[in-house]
Structure 1
């Protein structure tokens, strides 16, 4: 089931694939509350910002499923204030044809393994409460639910809630 998944550091040439993958979720699902998909330039800027912060941005490939990038994961900014700089929010997306093969589990674990606990003490996942597969994915990776909010996002003419999950990388 796992195929020949390869996980590597993302490169600028991958940004077109990231834009395509994410666009699918923006247009068809509530996995993201974005209404407009970011373009390649915005993905390039995101990749640069994640790298500049010393955090991982990974690309996944499996030629048994399809040629090229089939998924990505990265640790982005959480809340954008100085006091939160040791906390990151993860983002992980796969092309729909890559789902159900264990690739999400392996990609998320690779992201956790690539994280430097000196730079990132805590990883937060903010997940639509209507995407139980993502909640289960994070639970399998060791995240614990730390809260829920209802009616905080609006998409496809309805109000949506979030599940907040946390993984500590540092020993306190």
Structure 2
């Protein structure tokens, strides 16, 4: 089930986030967070008019997704960057796809124009998922990050949410 996140989901969201911090290059942070941090993060997202969605499976938070500003300048207001994460034990069940489809639908309903993905270049499952959802690979920046004692490359992908010829 995909639904809007609530503060009661913060512990589950923090656990998924912290696993990605500790064990993957999906998140380039090195510091874990607690549930209070995720409550504050959700409140800030929602105050900005941005969704935070969770995938609930087997009675627990199995994944989450959100989008927020691409850049902090007025000219970028119709472009957002998203994130999607699924708990290790729930991967391969289609939850990331379901979260992304719901997130894309929310972005279209909000009259946004472009959704951006910034993905660690060796994360083939994420790149493949995004390609299957219509995202196009726009560029890979080499050695722009570091984690686990190695340089990381960042692949940018974009999805045009509509075909309007000019901004509204």
TM beyond 0.5: yes
Unaligned runs of 5+ in 1: 1-5
CA-based RMSD of the aligned residues comes to: 1.4
Q: Are 2:69 and 2:80, in contact at CA under 8 Å, matched by a contact in 1?
A: yes
Q: 152-161 or 48-57, which moves further after superposition?
A: 48-57
How far is 1:118 from its partner?
4.4
SS in 1 for 2:92: coil
Give the structure 2 partner of residue 69 of structure 1. Answer: 61
SS in 2 for 1:162: strand
Give the structure 1 partner of residue 148 of structure 2. Answer: 156
**Which portions of structure 1, spanning 4 or more consecutive aligned residues, are displaced by more than 6 angstroms?**
none
Give the structure 2 partner of residue 37 of structure 1. Answer: 32
How far is 1:124 from its partner?
0.4
How far is 1:116 from its partner?
3.9
> Hey, what's the Cα distance between the residues in 2 that align with 1:37 and 1:138?
26
> Hey, what's the Cα distance between the residues in 2 that align with 1:38 and 1:81?
28
Query: What TM-score comes out, normalization by structure 2 length?
Result: 0.91
> Hey, what's the Cα distance between the residues in 2 that align with 1:96 and 1:118?
31
Query: What TM-score comes out, normalization by structure 1 length?
Result: 0.89
Give the structure 2 partner of residue 52 of structure 1. Answer: 47
> Hey, what's the Cα distance between the residues in 2 that align with 1:110 and 1:117?
11
Give the structure 2 partner of residue 25 of structure 1. Answer: 20
Unaligned runs of 5+ in 2: none
Kindly tell me the number of residue pairs found equivalent between the two proteins. 164
